[in-house]
Amino acid sequence: MPKIVDHHERRTLIVDALMRVAARDGLEAVSLRHVAAEAGVTTGMVQHYFRTKEEMMEFAMAVVRERGEARITEAVGRLGPAPAPRELIRTMITELLPLDEARRADARVALAFLAYAAVRPVAAASLRQETPQLVGFVADQIRAAQAAGAAADVDPATAAAGLLAVMEGLGIYLLTEQYAPRTALDALDAQLSRIFG
Amino acid sequence: MPKIVDHHERRTLIVDALMRVAARDGLEAVSLRHVAAEAGVTTGMVQHYFRTKEEMMEFAMAVVRERGEARITEAVGRLGPAPAPRELIRTMITELLPLDEARRADARVALAFLAYAAVRPVAAASLRQETPQLVGFVADQIRAAQAAGAAADVDPATAAAGLLAVMEGLGIYLLTEQYAPRTALDALDAQLSRIFG
DNA sequence: GCTTTTGCATTACGACTGTAATGTAACCGA
DNA sequence: TCGGTTACATTACAGTCGTAATGCAAAAGC
């Protein structure tokens, strides 16, 4: 094999450019030429690493998902061992909310993909896999807090579903600047207080 | 003036077709030709009633907003005079959630416009005007319930913000089929129970 | 009846799109 | 050293896009 090139690295380089374009101009501005120009490469190179545009989009969605997960595990790791459920969940959620410009950009991309997947069944399947396990995880934390006497007597599954819905909704309202960060955080903390003590 | 034609009627006819296309194939499939074909008219006619595509999109967004408001006032009207705050709000919210195919189509369009507006400041301004007054209305209802001794001692503004965030999040999860209708309604009722008695 | 305006159809244009084809240079294995 | 494969770059192509231009029929006002 000639020319040792890290395929995955090249693909993420391209997809990083894709996400910058999507965050700035929207997903409909994502064309092979725009992405290539943003990445500083030729369209031929983009074509070399992604045979079709759809393949590039799918890879981009996977990267977005992976980065979200990485962001969570990294933030949770910073909490140290055996954190309190409420702090754990609060950290998780605030980490995912678009509270600064970097995460706002990510959220714009995620929103664009959400709308993209809403009319593409195959792409939607890629999104669906993450949430159920997140709901399960949050429900488990609520259960643990309840067992320790540190949470209200609510149905864990329902409370978890509601809490993630709050997160998603706050994300939307933050992104569209309908809520100020303070408003969103107050609403989140109120929600957490209603579930935990 | 020759040929008496109701401009507004023609424009809504075209925009109805636009929304069908957007709900079925996404907003990036909305082109003058596709919309014209869906409406059964020529592109020339579309151009006659909308000088640019952006003008058509703005009108479509206004129609979506107006229909949402009309849907609310109509559902609230069905409740009769002086409804209980909790029932009033529950009716409002369930009316806006994508719980059947018709509202799912509307929600897909709304989601597409949300992503569209996220990268277009002028379009975003059009979206921003509705939510604050909705938050204010919900907060007033919570205050009224509190005065009547029928609600928990929560901050009305924060509770209202949280409740609308739940609505938005449930809408997203319902639309992407990550939550079943039952799950969403349970989460909504749990949220209402936490605010009201 | 004649003019003028409106309502709409048709066509053309330049820009952009995704994709395919082709070329070329670099490098690895033999 | 010599194929052969990989890594790109360039160009071409057919299709779609928004928009502008043009044309024409119908109807209202004079």
Tens digit of pLDDT for each residue in B103-122? 999 999 999 999 999 999 88
CB B85 within 8 A of CB B196: yes
The answer to whether residue A57 neighbours chain B at the CB level (below 8 Å) is no
The answer to whether residue A54 neighbours chain B at the CB level (below 8 Å) is no
Residue B94 has pLDDT above 50, yes or no: yes
CB A169 within 8 A of CB B164: yes
Instruction: Tell me the whole-structure pTM to 2 decimals.
Output: 0.94
Residue B3 is predicted with a pLDDT of 64
Bases in strand C with any atom closer than 7 Å to a protein CB: 4-11, 16-21, 26-29
Q: How many residues does chain B have?
A: 197
What domains can you pick out in chain A, each with its CATH number?
1-51 (1.10.10.60), 65-196 (1.10.357.10)
CA distances (Å), B181 to each of B94, B160, B178, in order? Answer: 10, 22, 10
Beta bridge partners of A69: none
The Cα A74–Cα A76 span in angstroms is 5
Beta bridge partners of B151: B196
Residue B52 has pLDDT above 60, yes or no: yes
B121: which chain A residues are within 8 Å (Cβ-Cβ)? none
> CA angle at residue A185 from A170 to A192, to 5 degrees?
90
- What is the percent of chain B with per-residue pLDDT over 70, rounded to a whole number? 98
**E-assigned strand segments in chain A:** none
Q: How does pLDDT run across B119-131, given as a tens digit for each residue?
A: 998 889 888 888 9
The number of C-beta contacts closer than 8 angstroms across A and B is 148
Residues 6+ apart with CB under 8 A from A129: none
**Dihedral in degrees, nearest 10, Cα atoms A133, A134, A139, A140:** 70
User: Cα B94 from chain centroid?
Assistant: 12
Residue A1 is predicted with a pLDDT of 43
A190 to B115: CB separation less than 8 angstroms, yes or no: no
Six token digits for residue B179: 């939550």
Six token digits for residue A20: 């910058």
B144-156 burial, b at 16+ Cβ within 10 Å, e below that, comes to ebbeeeebeebeb
Which among A24, A164, A177 has CB closest to B119? A24
The Cα B88–Cα B75 span in angstroms is 9
Residues 6+ apart with CB under 8 A from B110: B64, B68
The Cα A174–Cα A100 span in angstroms is 10
The Cα B71–Cα B77 span in angstroms is 10
Report the range of poorest mean pLDDT among A33-37, A124-128, B171-175, B181-185. Answer: A124-128
The Cα B94–Cα B167 span in angstroms is 8
Residues of chain A with pLDDT under 50: 1
